[in-house]
Amino acid sequence: MPDIPCGGQIFDFAFHPNQPIVYTGLITGEVKAFGYDEQGNHDSRFVCKPSKKSCRSLELNTSGEKLWSVGKAKTLHTIDTTTGQVSDARKDIHEAPINRVKHIMENMLVTGDDDGVVKLWDTRTPEMIREYTHHYDFISDFMWIQDKKHLVVTSGDGTLSVLDVRNKKKEPFAHSEDQEDELLSIVSIKAGSKVVVGTQLGILSIFNKNKGWGDCVDRVPGHPSSIDALCALPSSYPSSHSTILTGSSDGLLRAVQLLPTKLIGVIADHGDFPIERMHVDMGGEGRWVGSAGHEEMLKMTDLKDVFEDEDDGEDEGDVESEKEEEGTAVADLSGKGMGSDMEADEEAPVVEDKDSDDEEEEAPQEKKRKRQKQEKDELAGRKKKGKNQIDSEPSFFSGL
């Protein structure tokens, strides 16, 4: 599918849960909706501008009728997707710019800001339900665990926390040790038994829920740049339980199998622009994966072209043995030597985020790039080796 031009830098986007419609939030404060089809055609559905300041995060309810937007203006806007008009605005709900919003239950939202504050909201009442202040740096991502009613929060302060939204206490249910790295993105694998976190140094940290949230059980180095976005494959693919999509600041969208570790391939290339948001359409079960960075367009990649020839029995043995699952090998995830013409340099240039008009630079982008880039070997060496991680000669991966 051809890229969808949006006329401004995309900070976030959201797919309608059951219709071929995508909503984009721009640095200009605009929210633009586009329809698309399998032939690669797209059309504009509506444009609205809830705020003059940048829109950093978007979220839809389960029916797709309501779209929530948050950003630098510290306001929660509700947009009616049928009319394209703002139906509600809650102003100054945070003291710092809001970086993330997540719909977790029918009438419940959660927001996270640049100062690490997380707030729980009931959409039917104007006042917040609860506030959490245990993080001290920007909230980078949320993950909802439906059966436990737990919200997993990642932060730039290097820790991960778990909130039990049913508990009235303001303390988290669990709080990890300092991982000595900014935690930027999160996704679950292995039917939810394990959680993968993307970091500033390009390491995938794996947490095992059955062993608690205190520390990760494995670290998988290999990405030459920060891992800003993670998402799961549609469940229709046989390897979806162990394969994830990673979006990195080197501009490459990779398909990576974990436990054991294997780079399946590079499936999209944003050139010199980092990938900071990534989602699969149709509620995560669709055909298209969208990715966005600092360009003024949304890149749409057809997953069928990448995975249609996948061997149905490739990973069946992986599920049966927990011991085999955690026998992780260190793989080269850079994308080089994989037979792909979309190769990335280890030292990808950093594209500075420039706001429009009188806007200041966005805080999350500044923070996520405040560490100086280092060589890949040094990135892996700064972290203590995971208990199941092994060192291998480079020739081990030459044939992958």
Structure-token pair, residue 309: 């020839």
Backbone phi and psi for residue 53, each to the nearest 5 degrees, phi listed first: -100, 165
Element (H, E) at 32: strand 31-36
pTM of the model: 0.81
Do the Cβ atoms of 63 and 17 come closer than 8 Å?
yes
Structure-token pair, residue 157: 């302060």
Angle of CA points 158, 68, 354, to nearest 5°: 60
Half-sphere exposure for 239 (CA within 13 Å, toward CB): 23
Do the Cβ atoms of 185 and 197 come closer than 8 Å?
yes
Cβ atoms within 10 Å of 61's Cβ, excluding its own: 17
Do the Cβ atoms of 186 and 141 come closer than 8 Å?
yes
Q: In angstroms, how far is the first alpha carbon of the chain from the final one?
A: 28
Q: Cα-atom radius of gyration of the chain, to the nearest Å?
A: 20
Residue-level pLDDT at 265: 93
Angle of CA points 180, 184, 190, to nearest 5°: 100
- Reported in sequence order, the residue ranges of 233-322 that DSSP labels E, i.e. its strands, are 243-248, 252-257, 262-269, 275-280, 288-293, 297-302
Do the Cβ atoms of 50 and 77 come closer than 8 Å?
yes
Q: What is the mean pLDDT of each run of 10 residues along the chain (400 residues)?
A: 91 97 97 93 96 97 97 98 96 98 96 98 94 98 96 98 95 97 97 97 96 96 97 94 97 95 94 96 96 94 81 45 45 55 38 42 44 38 39 38
Dihedral in degrees, nearest 10, Cα atoms 99, 104, 107, 113: -20
Structure-token pair, residue 101: 């919003």
Residue-level pLDDT at 29: 97
Q: What share of the chain is helix, strand, coil (3-state, %, to 5)?
A: 10, 40, 50
The residues, ordered by sequence, that sit 6+ positions from 207 with a Cβ below 8 Å of its Cβ are: 160, 176, 194, 195, 196, 197, 213, 215, 216, 217
Structure-token pair, residue 265: 């391939």
